[in-house]
Amino acid sequence: MSLVVRPCSSVEELRDALVISHYFGGDNRLEDAQWVSTVLRPERMHAAHQDGQVVGGAGAYGVPIWLPGGRAVASTGVTVVGVLPTHRRQGVLTAMMRAQLDDARARGEAIAWLWASEATIYGRFGYGLASLSAEIDLPSERAALRDPAPGPERCRLVDHEQALATMPGLYDRVAARHAGMVGRDRAWWEIRRLSDHPFRRGDAGPLHRLLVHRDGVPVGFALYRVRRGLQHGITQSVVKVVEVMGVDPAAERAAWRHLLQLDWMARIQADCLPVDHPLLLWLAEPRYLGMRLADGVWLRLLDLPAAAAARGWGSDEALVIELSDPFCPWNQGRWRLEGGTVHGTDAAADLRMPMDALGSAWLGGFSWRRLVQAGRAHAASEEAVDRADRLFRTDRAPWCPEVF
């Protein structure tokens, strides 16, 4: 029987399409699918059917992504992609990717992006590594700040409703400065960030919600949990940092100061941090951070003109690129980037690259100099590389603070 890929029409079908749970130790309960459907609508979940059985699933959040320059554009946040182990290497994933990207384009979403469970999967569908993500594991006795003096900020713990009323606005102010952050609506905040669902707790305790105030005005926040531990009467407890945001460096530092100085903790652990995090300069002994880098989000463009119009550019110079994109052939050809617009052209190309390389450069995570040196792009001249880097220049590393 032929393979059929179609969107789900109910929560029950969504449950069946969460094939990824086979690999993550889940059991596809209806109540879990109902919880997921609050932010992942059934019609945004594609299911692959064969011989009356669901053999694969691929979901997509319809969310904005913040781009360099402080603007957001409609995007497809790809998630929960999986194929049953009995149906691997039979074209199921390719069929789902085809249906998903066609659907996203029809919805007017300019960019598709994801966190890859396996780094070797998505390059063939045009996704390029667009950001890096840092994690830390810091012993509490080595968590002293270079300047330990507190600022005027004050911290207090708040409940769910107070957090929901305050934190989204603070987050949006930070997101406008960091390319790669995901736009969050109320449901996203309630389900994915502020929820204390057992699935979110993992091996740690309840979620703590911290607000940072300056002169009575909220300027930052932290979300964290504590994983309790004790051995021979000595604490082994760990602060598990979920997220820290500040509208300015002083507000963010105040939140981290609170976390680093919590009593009776052995370690502070965090992941999904930006690679240019100021902790490296705030700490007296940054080598003890145990900082490790991993791949962050992967990105591909679906609508190059729309994505270019939303992005901020480092210069007004013109650049002609020759783009190869066999999986989404409407992107192929030569394009002239100039003044925030993109138009087809017959002019000679300054740079030639596949779509995955353009995805790597789009948020500013990788320079064209690095991509050319790695053989991921080819330049007509050294001057063309310099011009491309001026055009794509950003002042901060891209950052997505959560895995979706």
Distances 11 to 18, 32, 92, 103, 225 between C-alpha atoms, Å: 11, 10, 22, 19, 31
What are the backbone dihedrals phi and psi of residue 324, each rounded to the nearest 5 degrees, phi first?
-105, 125
Handedness of CA 88, 45, 355, 334 (dihedral sign): positive
Across the beta sheet with 132-139, what order do the strands follow? 154-158, 208-214, 217-227, 238-246, 267-273, 132-139, 292-295
Positions annotated as catalytic residues are 122, 404
Q: Using CA atoms, how far apart are residues 304 and 362, in angstroms rounded to an integer? A: 11
Q: Which residues pair with 245 in a beta bridge?
A: 221
What is the SS3 assignment for 18? coil
User: What tokens were used for 311?
Assistant: 């992005």
Q: Using CA atoms, how far apart are residues 116 and 300, in angstroms rounded to an integer? A: 13
User: What tokens were used for 274?
Assistant: 């930006």
